[in-house]
Amino acid sequence: MSRPVALITGGGRGIGAAASKRLAEDGYDVLLTYNTSSKPAEMVVAEIRAAGNDALAVKVNCADGGEVGLLGIHPWMARGIDVLVLNHGAYERIAADEMTLESLRQTMATNFEGAVAVWKAVQPHLTEYARMVVIGSQLGTKGSPHGADYAASKAALSTWARSLAQAVGHEGKRVNVLAPGFVDTAILAGDSKEKRRQREQQVPLKRIGSPDDMAGAISYLVGPNSAYVTGAILHVNGGLYLP
């Protein structure tokens, strides 16, 4: 019970799963959330426990105020939350000129409002020097013609995170944004082989990023080597986008 606690939303798949395993290796007990499928999350928990560490998966729809409220009174909250990684999200490919207000509201409810809701529920339980990483996107800075609602939600999320960093810095808390480029997750699962090759050729490093690449950056942002970093947007994209 003496180990610090990391809470990772969307921790059962992709970047969240890799971050859960990496932070467990770094010495954290991991509380991870999932929404639609328990099996991948429980597999992550099993892998962490098999390595001699501890983790627990809980079902939370971050767009549902009731479920987020229950997260805020979870027994592990009594231990204090040292690290909060807001990783959950939804992505629908909707062209900017075809986006509806309803699709925008749905995406914002999950990606932006859901993240803020989780933070507000967890805020009373954050430890004195808590660190938070918000998973944004390169699209939140440069926009996207075919994912306008997603890009808008990530832009809002990043701006809120940077504002929060300014507000809580005097408390010793740090807030940073990780902005991935192409990452080998479910978002790219539908790519054809040709589309995959096209993406790889767009990246100066000539490969798609892995969830482990992102987990390493998260480990840095919550670790001692980034003690003077807050309010930053760390672009981890192989050189694909250089703002």
Active site residue 34: no
Cβ neighbours of residue 10 closer than 8 Å, sequence gap 6 or more:
16, 33, 34, 35, 62, 87, 88, 89
Cβ neighbours of residue 205 closer than 8 Å, sequence gap 6 or more:
238, 239
Contact, 24 vs 17, CB < 8 A?
A: no
Contact, 135 vs 86, CB < 8 A?
A: yes
Which CATH code for domain 5-236? 3.40.50.720
Instruction: Report the predicted TM-score, pTM, of the whole model to 2 decimal places.
Output: 0.95
Cα of 218 vs its chain's centroid, Å: 9
Domain boundary assignment for the chain = 5-236
Per-residue pLDDT of the chain in tens (243 residues, 90 and over written 9): 589 999 999 999 999 999 999 999 999 999 999 999 899 999 999 999 999 999 999 999 999 999 999 999 999 999 999 999 999 998 877 888 888 999 999 999 999 999 999 999 999 999 999 999 999 999 999 998 888 999 999 999 999 999 999 999 999 999 999 999 999 998 888 889 999 999 999 999 999 999 999 999 999 999 999 999 999 999 999 999 998
Helix/strand/coil (H/E/C) assignment for every residue in the chain: CCCCEEEECCCCCHHHHHHHHHHHHCCCEEEEEECCCHHHHHHHHHHHHHCCCCEEEEECCCCCHHHHHHHHCCHHHHHCEEEEEECCCCCCCCCCCCCCHHHHHHHHHHHHHHHHHHHHHHHHHEEEEEEEEEECCCHHHHCCCCCHHHHHHHHHHHHHHHHHHHHHHHHCCEEEEEEECCECCHHHCCCCHHHHHHHHHHCCCCCCECHHHHHHHHHHHHCHHHCCCCCCEEEECCCCCCC
Q: How many other C-beta atoms are found inside a 10 Å radius of the C-beta of residue 198? A: 11
Max Cα distance, the chain (Å): 52
Cβ neighbours of residue 192 closer than 8 Å, sequence gap 6 or more:
none
Contact, 95 vs 146, CB < 8 A?
A: yes
Catalytic residue among 150, 220, 228, 241: 150
